[in-house]
Structure formats: structure tokens, C-alpha cells
Amino acid sequence: MSTVKDDLRYAESHEWVKLEGDIATVGISDYAQHALGDIVYVDMPEVGDEVEAGEVFGAVESVKAASDLLSPVSGTVEAVNEILEDAPESINADAYENWIMKVKVSDPAELEALLDAAAYAKLCENE
């Protein structure tokens, strides 16, 4: 069983988000990293890029598959996790510590459309 953290919100596409002030930290869930297998590459946006909720902002490639990353929020990319450039497998070690990007959120209300931990756990059980 994958870990689902109670203090995060989740997209149905398996990205997680944690809002602190107006900055959202975004990564992929433990369920997603298990499904992908050994991650070998993470394509991330550039700092300053605009991202839109529900739109592709990057991709994760594993030995099994490649998967687009969909932003759970809209806003401006403030930071990317540069550790992932040289060590993308860090996500497999801990999907919640090894975030992908931080976004200055333009519409905090978008988080209301995301799943809470209980709803996300149920989604994963049904997949």
C-alpha cells in the first residue's frame, strides 16, 4: 500500500501539492512513483515559467514508461528541485520529500478542486 499524507492535496493525475502562504510545493505521489518504477529522468519547467492547473508542466520517465506531469495549480514557477537533475531516482526513495517545483499560486481557490487524503486513497484503491 502506498503512503498518502493527510496534510497534502492531490490531483487525480497523481501529483500532490502543499500550500504554504502563496507558494505551492508540487511533486508526484508515492502511488505514482510505485506505478512508474525506477525513475531515470524528470523534465521540469524553468523558473519564471507560467503553469496552468490541469496543463502539462513536465514529465517523469522511468524504465517502464514516461508520464506527463499535470500542474495541480496555476501560477509562476519560483523554484525547481535541482537535485532531480542528477538524481531523479530520489523520488523513488521518498516521493514527498523530493518535490519537483514550487509555484507562486495565482488562484488559491483551485486547491479546493483537488482531492483530500481520504478521497485520493480511495482513488488509488480503485485503480
Model confidence pLDDT, tens digit, residues 14-58: 999 999 999 999 999 999 999 999 999 999 999 999 999 999 999
Q: What is the CA angle 2-60-104, rounded to 5?
A: 90
What residue numbers bound the domain in which 43 lies? Answer: 9-110
**Is residue 68 assigned to a domain?**
yes
**Predicted local confidence at residue 2, as pLDDT:** 86
pLDDT tens column, 77-101: 999 999 999 999 999 999 999 999 9
Read off the amino acid at residue 82. E
pLDDT tens column, 98-125: 999 999 999 999 999 999 999 999 999 9
**Are 11 and 3 in contact, with CB atoms under 8 Å apart?**
no
**Is residue 54 assigned to a domain?**
yes
**Is residue 21 assigned to a domain?**
yes
Separation CA 127–CA 58 (nearest Å): 23
Q: Is 7 exposed, middle or buried (0-12, 13-18, 19+ CB in 10 A)?
A: exposed
- CATH at 78: 2.40.50.100
**Is residue 73 assigned to a domain?**
yes
**Are 36 and 117 in contact, with CB atoms under 8 Å apart?**
no
Q: How many domains does the chain have?
A: 1
